[in-house]
Structure 1
């Protein structure tokens, strides 16, 4: 491809990351050109703040955003919204750039020139530029870097706050156009423990749960998670359901958080708190021990035999080494409290299994993942859920709550190192060929990209 053609094809995508891909990259793209129309006054959107993904209505007047209101018809928040989402419009027109700025003393990494003003953002150090000039400038530099050092020398860090379309386009741009495998996102960086734990235990990183499971559960547990502060709408749904059905709840967190206090305010007798520090896996296994020994009717023996492997060794190990009395040095939880919660867990599991929906729903947050043994936290919890048959049924399951609303979308579209759309590995030759055909690019480019690595990307970003 000629340099000028490259610039024209990638300028907008390189500069903005969320506009249409080049015409040559998407067959028959003329069919999908946007038509101009009058600006709407109400715009449906997803709140970008946390991982809940509340439905939001952006109110506008004369082409400007005025305020945010919750969407009463959205199935997630049902007309509720926390203060973070409600005030999200306040910063939009405060100290915002209206034109692209170019540093007067701009770095030129290919020639070893580092800007003397790098790290300073005083407006006097910049000059205004047009959008066309800025796009051309970025595309020129990217093209020259690719020509000199190869596509893998250009990196991109994505986000779970992008739309699916934006995530899909950034993957086309990096792997399909530049031939770069240096692409990551917090959709994996902050979720690696849950993702790999899910894959190792369930075979897929897709959580086998949804928000509707909350109102079907017989017991809800939060592991290393303070949703009252981090995911308020999720907490409100759980609190509302608890106030109506008086279900037992468990919070495992070294702190006495707002979540703990909020659930206790509803009913302290059915609200349990394990203030452990790094004792989570021992708690999982101690609960498993108590259930196997004292409530064997709660063990899903048929499920284990039909759908799992290694369960015999797991059961034998928890029976032998995880009596609550023997692991109190790690859990810091009184054995009688473990036995009490194990009884509630067993009762909820049996009730859900008999009814065909419900059981135990376990939810954890980012803190549980970014942990000394985050992956094993997930795997150990899934073991306990499988032991009691709390997988694959409405109203129960292991639910990893993300920090951003479209983190799963980033993985689904393949916007990560070594992945392609539908979260299939870049090492899958058949899928590479299919993607190359859909993207309208030479298959050889994707084949070459599949062999590239850049393991120092994350550290390199932080160092710069």
Structure 2
């Protein structure tokens, strides 16, 4: 299969029929001579079958392109893809060593089954299919037996069928991952909702991205970040909220730092810690690199920036955009004008060691205004990016990490970012916008394929009668299975699934490319719950 290249214009053209046309796959053998499958060897007894393929790094949310070389079915090399539009031949140490865990002792060879569970399975009639291992909680080798994949699959098949028949399909749970390919996410949802009729399906994407997703959806009508990585190099200013990109998303930091070095753009890091990201930017140019050591009060800080822009830089307020495309802006402007001056928010910034004085807020607002003016000047001069509106390019990109989402008011944090960008027209144009960074490369795919409670592919609600019928037809499953899933309850979603397991309502749990340790309340909820369920870890 050929490598597919697509720029902004091509993507916009193809998006009209994206629902019916597949433009790529998770693994592709390229037309490049370096990327051809080949068999080499000196003689018949020493033949090496070598395959080189393109894949996505599974670690963080960046999604770097990698070139994987396998010999006789075993990965022997991973290197960055020089032609990939995300990393351009760069790769951090996590990506370069991504294949190593595959060949850790416990991962090689046959499947692991707990010894006492396997002994029960060997009894006449397979014994008690609801038997719970007495060694749960211990992972010592002595408690496991190695069995073939086929034998382990047969055991799982029988147990899942037993639970589904006796307790309904909704007694089967699945916790998925943003590290899965789109195809894997699609299949797990088909299996759970289309085959079992279960609505007990969640993913770690729920835990990391809920605030960003609901913030985007509530304000913009879609859960998709409205910009791309190439907007980093088009921006005139980058702000990070709770985002140590240098450590968490190294390729993104390198791209932003390179852009700063070449074009001297200002950068701001809003974080209680003095992170490597803040230090890295200051090493490039300390004069236009700002660290805001805020401990709390993110919303107040953002609203104070809006206050200063309205008062001191009214020329960057996009009144036409507000009137034509935005609702509720009058109330927003009135509130930030009357209640969020830099002086009024001082008691909300955090305390000793985390001071954010009014002059610092005004400095950041001034940098924000100057960056916005550059975009406005390009628009006035007719400078635009091919395939985009004639609205110029550049302005301000605001990025944030998972910690910014995981707050009691995380959704409001996100909404406050979008509000500020909307006020100044730094939205829906190249080189600006709200950019959430996720923890895994396909978290959005989990939502897109519907791998969550109450969702179907294309992130449509399970309660949508027309879409439910359409998906049943495409999946070639009885519509009643999806009707059953729709009527099944999973209150509390990811956490509620564990609460139900603790009560004995969930009998089996699939953990697919995911671990339970990222869920809250491990000692009182999650581990006790999983001690009661039959668990399948993939």
Using the size of structure 1 for normalisation, the TM-score is 0.89
Structure 2 residue 461 is matched with structure 1 residue 425: yes
> What are the equivalent positions in structure 2 for 1:21-170 lying under 5 Å apart?
40-95=50-105, 96-106=107-117, 113-170=131-188
> Which residue number corresponds to residue 443 of structure 1?
479
Contact 1:353 1:389 in 2 (8 A): no
Which of residues 415, 420, 429 is equivalent to 1:379? Answer: 415
- Identify which range, 441-450 or 161-170, moves more after superposition: 441-450
Name the CA distance, whole Å, in 2 between partners of 1:37 and 1:258.
Answer: 43
> Which residue number corresponds to residue 250 of structure 2?
232
CA RMSD of aligned residues (A): 1.8
Deviation track 1:126-181 (CA, whole Å, cap 9, x = no partner) reads 33322221111101100110001111110101111111100100010000000011
Which secondary structure state, in structure 1, belongs to the residue aligned with residue 256 of structure 2? Answer: helix
Which secondary structure state, in structure 2, belongs to the residue aligned with residue 128 of structure 1? Answer: strand
Name the CA distance, whole Å, in 2 between partners of 1:302 and 1:110.
Answer: 70
Spell out structure 1 runs of 4+ moving beyond 3 A.
Answer: 36-40, 107-113, 458-461
Which of residues 434, 438, 448 is equivalent to 1:402? Answer: 438
Shift of the 353–150 alpha-carbon distance from structure 1 to 2, 3 Å rule, reads: farther
Name the CA distance, whole Å, in 1 between partners of 2:112 and 2:318.
Answer: 62
Name the CA distance, whole Å, in 2 between partners of 1:458 and 1:56.
Answer: 36
Name the CA distance, whole Å, in 1 between partners of 2:38 and 2:398.
Answer: 46
Name the CA distance, whole Å, in 1 between partners of 2:465 and 2:285.
Answer: 56
Q: CA deviation at 1:367?
A: 0.6
> Which residue number corresponds to residue 6 of structure 1?
none
Which secondary structure state, in structure 2, belongs to the residue aligned with residue 361 of structure 1? Answer: strand
Q: CA deviation at 1:37?
A: 9.8
Contact 2:70 2:76 in 1 (8 A): yes
Name the CA distance, whole Å, in 2 between partners of 1:228 and 1:66.
Answer: 28
Contact 1:188 1:195 in 2 (8 A): no
Contact 1:179 1:445 in 2 (8 A): yes
> What are the equivalent positions in structure 2 for 1:299-314 lying under 5 Å apart?
299-314=317-332
- Identify which range, 395-404 or 453-462, moves more after superposition: 453-462
- For structure 1, the 5+ residue unaligned runs are 1-35
Structure 2 residue 283 is matched with structure 1 residue 265: yes
- Identify which range, 46-55 or 117-126, moves more after superposition: 117-126
Deviation track 1:274-316 (CA, whole Å, cap 9, x = no partner) reads 1001111001000000000111111111111111111000000
Q: CA deviation at 1:55?
A: 0.5
Name the CA distance, whole Å, in 2 between partners of 1:262 and 1:247.
Answer: 14
Shift of the 172–306 alpha-carbon distance from structure 1 to 2, 3 Å rule, reads: same
Which secondary structure state, in structure 2, belongs to the residue aligned with residue 57 of structure 1? Answer: strand
Which of residues 333, 337, 357 is equivalent to 1:315? Answer: 333
Name the CA distance, whole Å, in 2 between partners of 1:159 and 1:398.
Answer: 24
Deviation track 1:91-123 (CA, whole Å, cap 9, x = no partner) reads 332213301232221289987643222222333
Which secondary structure state, in structure 2, belongs to the residue aligned with residue 155 of structure 1? Answer: strand
Which of residues 497, 510, 518 is equivalent to 1:457? Answer: 497
Deviation track 1:218-255 (CA, whole Å, cap 9, x = no partner) reads 11000010000000000000000000000011100000
Which of residues 321, 341, 352 is equivalent to 2:364? Answer: 341
Contact 1:110 1:145 in 2 (8 A): no
Contact 2:400 2:436 in 1 (8 A): yes
Name the CA distance, whole Å, in 2 between partners of 1:441 and 1:89.
Answer: 36
Deviation track 1:64-85 (CA, whole Å, cap 9, x = no partner) reads 2112111000000000000111
Name the CA distance, whole Å, in 1 between partners of 2:185 and 2:131.
Answer: 32
Which of residues 382, 392, 397 is equivalent to 2:428? Answer: 392
Name the CA distance, whole Å, in 2 between partners of 1:61 and 1:41.
Answer: 7
Name the CA distance, whole Å, in 2 between partners of 1:179 and 1:343.
Answer: 55
Which secondary structure state, in structure 2, belongs to the residue aligned with residue 251 of structure 1? Answer: strand
Contact 1:215 1:395 in 2 (8 A): yes
Q: CA deviation at 1:401?
A: 0.5
- Identify which range, 391-400 or 348-357, moves more after superposition: 348-357
Contact 2:38 2:51 in 1 (8 A): no
Using the size of structure 2 for normalisation, the TM-score is 0.77
Query: Matched residue pairs, number?
Result: 429
Name the CA distance, whole Å, in 2 between partners of 1:110 and 1:216.
Answer: 63
